[in-house]
Chains A and B, each alone.
Chain A
């Protein structure tokens, strides 16, 4: 049924769904991981680490 060509799924699209979507169950271990706020904080950390490693996309244009 796939009508769209299958490209590799972008990590951000995946994280939008896997970290903010899906059924939240308080598992034995995932007591606090299920907390969206924690995940948001982690994502902010990711964004800043990515920013530090990757040059701004605008610089490539120069």
Chain B
């Protein structure tokens, strides 16, 4: 008999609205709600052949598989975000069967309740700042060719000096934007800057942050980000969200104070 495993997307408090009937999870199976101890695990069945440890390890290095799985996971969590405040689990959290999921809920009940209380009514916004790539400079005219090696080196030094200044300007901008946003957020997480080859996004990523903001204050937060978009030439600001509070569901949640001081504590 081929058995399936249980893929768990998120843990929530019970909610009244049913999930959309056409919603599909990882591998195409519809997600179901598993109620236990006053909590709900959102689960679907996935084939054991794809999710046993060795298969999973190989799959995680397959970009197409990873992309498809991540999008399916996000699709379910996103659908949950429209009806409740889900506590998203890390990608590819898999159990043998429903009873193993129930045991997990029992073991982590207190954590889940604490996190769900903390995140209730809140969403995550992602903000990234990029230093735009240099516009291709016209080739210097013949006359401007360096007359000597010393001229050449001096020109190179000036160019790298100008680049350094742009970097510093972008970092100052990112820092000041981050401080303003952090004041309006309940919590902040810094993600490592993204590699532009992987993101396919032009420019150097100098800030990649996540902000936990209540739904009530989200519009204001978004407007604030929008206003900064034209503030600094050569710098690009990107906003993503609203996300379920992925970046605030980890073990370290709450351990690190929001940057930006100013709260006069």
Contacts and interface: CB of A to CB of B under 8 A. Distances in A.
Partners in one complex: yes
B177 to A, nearest CB: 17
Interface in B10-61: 11, 51-53, 56-57, 60-61
Nearest to B125: A4
Interface stretch (B141-149, B151-159, B197-205): B197-205
Given A42-B61, A50-B198, A18 B218 contact: no
Interface stretch (B168-176, B235-243, B256-264): B235-243
B116 to A, nearest CB: 10
A58 B197 CA distance: 10
A47 B249 CA distance: 26
Contacts of A56: 197
B91 A18 contact: yes
B178 to A, nearest CB: 16
A45 B53 contact: no
A22 B11 contact: no
Contacts of B124: 17
Interface in A26-60: 27-34, 38-39, 42-43, 45-47, 49-51, 54, 56-58
Interface residues of B, number: 65
A51 B239 CA distance: 26
Given A19-B90, A33-B60, A24 B74 contact: no
A19 B92 CA distance: 9
B202 A57 contact: yes
B219 interface: yes
Contacts of B219: 3
A60 to B, nearest CB: 9
A30 B100 CA distance: 13
Given A18-B246, A21-B88, A32-B53, A27 B197 contact: no
Nearest to B78: A9
B109 to A, nearest CB: 12
Contacts of B126: 13, 16
A28 B51 CA distance: 11
Most buried by B among A20, A22, A49, A62: A22
Interface of B: 5, 8, 11, 51-53, 56-57, 60-61, 63, 66-67, 70-71, 73-74, 87-96, 100, 104, 108, 111-112, 115, 124, 126, 133, 136, 189, 191, 194-202, 208, 210, 215, 218-219, 222, 239-243, 246-251
The 3 closest A-B pairs by CB, nearest first: A21-B246, A17-B246, A22-B90
Given A9-B240, A10-B240, A30-B90, 7 more contacts: A10-B200, A12-B198, A21-B88, A21-B249, A22-B246, A25-B104, A29-B52
Interface of A: 1-4, 9-25, 27-34, 38-39, 42-43, 45-47, 49-51, 54, 56-58, 61-62
